[in-house]
Amino acid sequence: MSTTPRVSSAIAGEPAHFGSVLAHQPAIASAFTDLYAAFWSSDVLAARLKEVARMRNARVTECGFCRNVRFDKALGEGLGEEIVDDIDWGYETSDKLSDAEKAVLKFTDALIHDPELLTGDAQAALKRHLSPEQIAELGLGLTLFLALAKALITMGLEPEVMGRTVLPTPAPAEMA
């Protein structure tokens, strides 16, 4: 996995990072920013559950950038590091993660890793904890998390060194 950018920044004076590289395609960048803000600002599915799924995706895809970013909305909903630490292999036995969070994690693993993991029991658990509309929103999030992580990694935009970084949760421009 390369930590040397494979694409240059399209913004003068800025190093190559996801935003400055995506600026080579302004229409894609604009549509993504709009979508990601709408996704995170929707409260159909709690930000804490979205962040649980995003953290799991970060570990499975080996996205170091994703793994070190925290969105403040989920922190405000109580997703502390002691809980994030349990979003690892063996999360099923965690006593810090709720049953709903474990159902989300199992679905996350099935979508981003192995669809065979979505057994009848896993599907029943997901439907017990999430409404169809919430599952749709989770599916959208996982699609974006996975695509973002893989695009970032394959364009060589993984940071060499990065500490934990709390960022404002993406929000629509008029709300920011």
Residue choice 72, 99, 143, 164 for contact with another protein (CB under 8 A)? 143
* Residue 112 within binding range of another protein, rule CB under 8 A: yes
Q: Give DSSP secondary structure letters for 118-172.
A: --HHHHHHHHHHS-HHHHHHHHHHHHHHHHHHHHHHHTT---SS---EEEPPP--
Per-residue x/- track, 49-88, another protein (CB under 8 A): ------------xx--------------------------
Number of residues forming the site for another protein (CB under 8 A): 53
Please give the DSSP secondary-structure letter assigned to residue 3: -
Among 14, 15, 34, 166, binds another protein (CB under 8 A): 34
∠ Cα 68 135 101 (to 5°): 50
Residues 145-174 that bind another protein (CB under 8 A): 146-151, 153-156
User: Is 22 near another protein (CB under 8 A)?
Assistant: yes
- Residue 132 interacts with another protein (CB under 8 A): yes or no: yes
Q: How far apart are CA 108 and CA 104, in angstroms?
A: 6
**How long a stretch of residues is the chain?**
176
Q: Which is nearer to another protein, 75 or 171 (CB)?
A: 171
Q: Check binding of 137 to another protein (CB under 8 A).
A: yes
At what angle are helices 26-41 and 132-154 packed, to 10 degrees? 140
Q: Which stretch in 4-12, 68-76, 97-105, 159-167 sits in contact with another protein by CB under 8 A?
A: 4-12
Query: In angstroms, what CA-CA distances link 168 with 22, 116, 153?
Result: 20, 35, 22
Torsion sign over Cα 135, 137, 139, 142? negative
What does the binding site for another protein look like in residue numbers (CB under 8 A)? Answer: 1-2, 4, 6-8, 10, 21-22, 24-25, 27-28, 30-32, 34-35, 38-39, 42, 44, 61-62, 107, 110-112, 115, 118, 123, 126-127, 132-133, 135-137, 139-140, 142-144, 146-151, 153-156
